[in-house]
């Protein structure tokens, strides 16, 4: 009989630190193993992402290998298709094939964090840049350098102004820090181009409250942060929201139009969409747990971090979604899982915040420690860097970041881009006769359109493949499993050399959501095929 398994979903602070503590706690329990599922094979130190955009920290300096940090944990570097609570199984998207993978669990830790959700705001999905992960930071940096270089040779004054105008939505830590970094970056880079008038550079921070960092800091420090940003050229528009975005720029809720080629939104954040389909107690999209982080009404399901609503026994509210809380939650959670395995009682999580720190760019920051120590300016900036540097996982990572920071103080920022080819929404594929495009029972991940050639549809009957139909140029297949969220109900085999377009499931969903008539046509074709 195989080992029992603790499965952790997500590789953020909560998930990774839970796995780290479990590796230590389970040394004497030989019949349990740990598995962690994450789409990347690295852990990102989120508080430093804004500095990646500014260029004061290298891209690799903010990440560390999961394999190195979790040597005793089995890693599944895959996307999650679905979570089956009844079967205690995690269904993973296929990789290098269409075959599904299933990971079973005895204890499940949900640490999926949250995502930037643009669904409620039209135009942001199409024209705004999110700022949530490492790829977002890299994309923003590349985009900003593009705008500066394009502006340096642009002769159309209106377009030049739009290229040099940057709009950031959200005045929390993410929005404030990214605004500060972008402001420093674009103003420093603009000085290097004789054709750019520094007065044309405009950085707007859109915030719905009366002051930035209103929820995070005291009134005096948040006011100080706002004044520092404004002094350095950031135009803060209080009491306003991003209503929509277009190719021409941002439109605010009071119908103010800001012509810009760069719109960045750090709000709104929402829990991972996978949680929407889980039959677990939730409030505002977050999984409700008790103070031990055990899901209410469940004996083997736990939740931690941004996706969990954890009671804060110190304040009577809920624990904030910050790294300092997630790291300490992870230690208590790991111990509680081991206690349940050993038949012992669990421990409630209790922790009082040590304080908050926020960088404002240009060697300046604000800090509020232990609820009564308030520091600003260079001293706060030095404390911010020192504290976050100490929290970096691994000595090698600490050394690399320290060197980057030192060099940043003596070497000017360089406008160097690292452009990576984006994943294509439509893939061009070629198949030869006899090739199987997908098998019956495979996961539905693409819609296929035949550009040239012919394929055969086969179904299993009494253990044998039976011919159902042939499809040729201009016809499509694979829509049934996408529309119905089911596995493939037939096998598709290539009859002659064929060129085929494959549209990803997510892009197919966007198409039919925006074109109801297209959806009706596809459904009509599906009904006709069911008759055969």
Instruction: Tell me which of 77 and 51 has the higher pLDDT.
Output: 77
Measured CA to CA, the distance from residue 250 to residue 289 in angstroms comes to: 39
First to last CA, the chain: 45
Q: What is the pTM of this model?
A: 0.80
Confidence of residue 418 (pLDDT cuts 50, 70, 90): low
Q: Tell whether the model's pLDDT for residue 372 goes beyond 90.
A: no
Q: Which fold has domain 124-267+356-410?
A: FAD/NAD(P)-binding domain (3.50.50)
Residue range(s) in the chain whose domain bears CATH number 2.60.120.10: 426-530
pLDDT of res. 508: 83
Q: Return residue ranges of the chain for CATH 3.50.50.60.
A: 4-39+78-113+270-353
| Helix spans in 166-261 (H) | 173-190, 219-231
Between CA 292 and CA 348 the distance in angstroms is 5
Q: Which fold has domain 426-530?
A: Jelly Rolls (2.60.120)
For residue 513, pLDDT over 90 is answered with: no
Mean pLDDT of 450-467: 92
Given the candidates 3.40.50.720, 3.50.50.60, 3.10.580.10, 3.40.190.170, the CATH classification of the domain at 4-39+78-113+270-353 is 3.50.50.60
Higher pLDDT, 152 or 244: 152
Domain with CATH 3.50.50.100 in the chain: 124-267+356-410
Q: Tell me, what's the pLDDT at 452?
A: 92
DSSP 289: B
pLDDT exceeds cutoff 70 at 120: no
- pLDDT on residue 11: 93
What is the C-alpha separation between 437 and 154, in angstroms, rounded?
48
Q: String of b and e for 272-301 (b: at least 16 CB within 10 Å)?
A: bebbeebebebeebbbbbebbbbbeeeebb
- Is the model's pLDDT at 419 over the cut of 70? no
pLDDT digits (tens, 9 = 90+) for 59-105: 777 788 899 899 999 999 999 989 999 999 999 988 877 777 999 99
* Contact in structure between 51 and 365 (CB atoms under 8 Å): no
DSSP string, 325-346: HHHHHHHHHHHHHHHHHTTPPP
């Amino acid at each position: 009989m195989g080992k029992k398994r603790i499965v952790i979903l997500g590789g953020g602070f909560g998930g990774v630190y839970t796995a780290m503590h479990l590796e230590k706690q389970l040394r004497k329990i030989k019949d349990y193993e740990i598995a962690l599922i994450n789409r990347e094979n690295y852990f990102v130190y989120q508080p430093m992402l804004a500095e990646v955009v500014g260029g004061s920290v290298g891209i690799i300096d903010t990440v560390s290998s999961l394999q190195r940090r979790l040597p005793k944990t089995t890693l599944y570097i895959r996307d999650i298709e679905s979570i089956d609570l009844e079967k205690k199984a995690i269904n993973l998207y296929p990789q290098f094939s269409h075959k599904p993978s299933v990971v079973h669990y005895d204890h499940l830790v949900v640490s999926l964090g949250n995502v930037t959700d643009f669904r409620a705001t039209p135009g942001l999905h199409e024209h705004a840049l999110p700022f949530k992960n490492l790829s977002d930071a890299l994309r923003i940096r590349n985009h900003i350098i593009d705008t500066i270089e394009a502006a340096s040779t642009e002769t159309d004054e209106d377009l030049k102004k739009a290229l040099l105008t940057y709009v950031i939505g959200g005045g929390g830590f993410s929005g404030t820090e990214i605004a500060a970094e972008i402001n420093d970056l674009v103003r420093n880079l603009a000085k290097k181009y004789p054709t750019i008038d520094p007065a044309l550079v405009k950085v707007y921070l859109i915030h719905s409250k009366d002051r930035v960092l209103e929820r995070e800091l005291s009134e005096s420090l948040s006011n100080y942060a706002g004044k520092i940003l404004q002094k350095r050229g950031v135009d803060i528009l209080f009491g306003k929201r991003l209503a929509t975005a277009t190719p021409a720029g941002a439109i605010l809720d009071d119908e103010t139009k800001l012509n810009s080629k760069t719109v960045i939104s750090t709000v709104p954040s929402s829990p991972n969409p996978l949680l929407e389909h889980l039959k677990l107690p939730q409030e505002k999209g977050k999984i409700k747990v008790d103070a031990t982080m055990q899901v209410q009404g469940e004996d083997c399901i736990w939740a931690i971090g941004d996706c969990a609503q954890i009671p804060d026994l110190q304040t009577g509210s809920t624990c904030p979604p910050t790294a300092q809380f997630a790291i300490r939650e992870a230690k208590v959670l790991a111990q509680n899982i081991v206690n349940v395995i050993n038949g012992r009682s669990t421990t409630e999580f209790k922790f009082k915040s040590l304080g908050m720190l926020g960088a404002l760019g240009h060697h300046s920051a604000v800090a509020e420690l232990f609820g009564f120590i308030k520091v600003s300016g260079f001293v706060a900036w030095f404390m911010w860097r020192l504290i976050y540097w100490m929290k970096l996982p691994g000595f090698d990572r600490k050394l690399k970041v320290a060197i980057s920071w030192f060099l940043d103080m003596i070497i000017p920022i360089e406008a160097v881009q690292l452009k990576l080819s984006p994943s294509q929404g439509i893939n061009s594929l070629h198949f030869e006769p006899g090739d199987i495009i997908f098998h019956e029972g495979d996961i539905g991940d693409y819609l296929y359109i035949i550009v040239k050639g012919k394929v055969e549809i086969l179904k299993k009957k009494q253990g044998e493949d039976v011919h159902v139909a042939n499809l040729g140029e201009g016809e499509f297949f694979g829509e049934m499993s996408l529309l119905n969220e089911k596995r493939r109900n037939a096998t598709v085999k290539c009859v002659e050399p064929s060129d085929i377009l494959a549209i990803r499931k997510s892009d197919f969903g966007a198409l039919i959501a925006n074109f109801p008539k297209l959806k009706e046509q596809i459904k009509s074709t599906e009904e006709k095929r069911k008759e055969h």
